[in-house]
Structure 1
Amino acid sequence: MNTPKQVALITGASAGIGATYADRLARRGYALVLVARDTARLEALAARLRETFDATIEIAPADLTKEEDLARIEQRLQSGDVTLLVNNAGMSLKGSVLENGPDALARIIALNVTAPTRLAAAAAKSFVQRGSGAIINLSSVLALAPEMFEGVYSGTKAYLLNLSQAMAAQLGPRGVHVQAVLPGATRTEIWEKAGRDVSEFPPGFLMEVDAMVDAALVGFDRRETVTIPPLPDEGQFLAMQQARLAMAPNLSRSEVPARYRS
């Protein structure tokens, strides 16, 4: 009896982190559904992966900030053959909330929050029915360090971390693995689009995208819920998690504590 082929749907697949996930998953034998706005880049990537790995590739050009495109990718996830969602598509802002208007703010929230939430929900419903599947959400280390960058981008990434941890707790017992990946600064086009010059970064600050994705996949294979590729000491994150969980019994109480009594 033949084992059904694993199928990964990757958003933001035309370049950078998404394209690297496509390469690594094709190497592992996955069939791929590649989602991005740039059709020409998707076609070029698909051609290379077919030639190199004899991979089965479907391209699905889409702008995930547009309702009709997002709905179409939701429907693709619900078709029943996808076994892995890589929620990678995202953007940053040029400047802070002081330099951006309503349209820019609405767009980053649509791409970084609304789209991955809806796609994760669509995938989760399909995976729970099957009793298996996995979701990888690309967050950022800025979810843990909001003071280091403008707060809208880091806020969207903190949301994805929160969503991932909640989904992991809820869906893990039902056969669905959820992983949040928190890259540090990684050499991708996001910096140029945000108006940043990567040559200004100090030595040792910027990770190459191949190394980042390979590390993230090690975490995925280990079934980690949160993977932080640049963090040398996992104990630091685990200690933070333990401190956070230790607060849980005291986060909702009927009486105001003494420190807030006048």
Structure 2
Amino acid sequence: MNDKTSKGAALITGASSGIGAVYADRLAKRGYDLILAARDEVRLNALTARLRAETGVTVDVIKADLTVRDDVRRLEARLRDDASVALLINNAGAALFEPFAVAAADGLDDLIQLNVTAVTRLANAAAAGFTQRGRGKIVNIGSIVGLMPQFKSTVYGATKAYVLYLSESLNDELAGSGVTVQAVLPGATRTEIWDRSGRGIENVPEEILMHVDELVDAALAGLDQGELVTIPSLPDAADWDAVAAARANLQPNLSRPHPAARYGVRVSEPA
């Protein structure tokens, strides 16, 4: 049971299974009321019944398909207008691992709608509502695939790279507003995403698969510690700090008045 200390409500997308369902369990036990959104209403209702019985929190269920614009708008309105909402877990997403050249364009469009457009719109609504209220947390679930083009998951990886950029830039923009942002970058995690993507979890090496409970517990620990980017599998956080420092070192040289000397371009005289 939670201590019933009021922490407000957490809106969780993709809450019927996997990462979203574990977030629901953990946040209910921390004392958050819940707003659970997903397509599978049967699973949502079963999860809701269990969490109400075990924790006593208030749980609202919203059946929503985040590839449908009107469903996204319903959640946007809740984030903007419901003053009780203090946390967004922007978790709903899908994967696609087939080669880009043979992938169906409509399937790619649906993937971008879910992993990019819906994530963006919900983060935008949360930022609007939270900044007005002077408090709140936005958690965007990305993937380590967004860091590794060599994994050859062209569009899925690109959508997750977008989530990281969105989170880092939004964190800078919201500094001092009372709103914090976290990007969580899971590695291979034991969820249904593998079977839904067509790859099948049996084709993923056991030695790289993290249990979803451990993933969410680590992500929440990173949130508690104030991490902007949480990579649960990464043994040494200094490795990510080095990546961030290397990017910062590039900044002064990324936009200059003339091309680098190695290109042999003649310098133009000012007009």
TM-score using structure 2 length = 0.93
Query: Quick one: which of 165, 170, 184 aligns to 1:167?
Result: 170
Distance 2:152 2:213 in 1: 24
Query: Quick one: which of 223, 232, 238 aligns to 1:235?
Result: 238
2:259: which partner in 1? Answer: 256
Query: Quick one: which of 71, 77, 80 aligns to 1:78?
Result: 80
- Residues 209-228 of structure 1 correspond to what in structure 2 (within 5 A)? 209-228=212-231
Cα deviations by residue, 1:2-38 (Å, 9 ceiling, x for unpaired): 9754210000000000000000000000000000011
Deviation at 1:99, TM superposition (A): 2.4
Deviation at 1:146, TM superposition (A): 1.7
**Secondary structure of residue in 2 paired with 1:104:** helix
Equivalent residue letter for 1:60? I
Contact 2:80 2:129 in 1 (8 A): yes
TM-score using structure 1 length = 0.97
Deviation at 1:96, TM superposition (A): 2.2
**Secondary structure of residue in 2 paired with 1:98:** helix
Contact 1:172 1:178 in 2 (8 A): no
Cα deviations by residue, 1:144-198 (Å, 9 ceiling, x for unpaired): 1121131100000000000000011111211110000000000000000111232
Distance 1:146 1:21 in 2: 28
2:26: which partner in 1? Answer: 24
Deviation at 1:260, TM superposition (A): 1.4
Which structure has the larger Rg over C-alpha atoms?
2
Cα 1:94–1:154 change in 2 (3 A) is: closer
2:17: which partner in 1? Answer: 15
**Secondary structure of residue in 2 paired with 1:29:** coil
Structure 1 unaligned segments of length 5 or more: list them. Answer: none
Distance 1:5 1:219 in 2: 18
Contact 2:5 2:31 in 1 (8 A): no
Distance 1:150 1:96 in 2: 7
Cα deviations by residue, 1:101-136 (Å, 9 ceiling, x for unpaired): 221011000000000100000000111111110000
Query: Quick one: which of 76, 98, 103 aligns to 1:100?
Result: 103
Output the aligned Cα RMSD.
1.3
Equivalent residue letter for 1:36? A
1:115: which partner in 2? Answer: 118
Distance 1:173 1:13 in 2: 30
Query: Quick one: which of 149, 152, 155 aligns to 1:152?
Result: 155
Hey, which bits of structure 1, 4+ residues long, moved more than 6 A? none
- Residues 42-57 of structure 1 correspond to what in structure 2 (within 5 A)? 42-57=44-59
Equivalent residue letter for 1:202? P
Query: Quick one: which of 192, 202, 221 aligns to 1:189?
Result: 192
**Secondary structure of residue in 1 paired with 2:218:** helix
Contact 1:183 1:228 in 2 (8 A): yes
Cα deviations by residue, 1:15-69 (Å, 9 ceiling, x for unpaired): 0000000000000000000000111111011001001111210001101111111
- More displaced stretch, 8-17 vs 138-147: 138-147
Query: Number of paired residues?
Result: 261
- More displaced stretch, 104-113 vs 192-201: 192-201
Distance 1:172 1:40 in 2: 39
Deviation at 1:199, TM superposition (A): 2.5
- More displaced stretch, 4-13 vs 46-55: 4-13
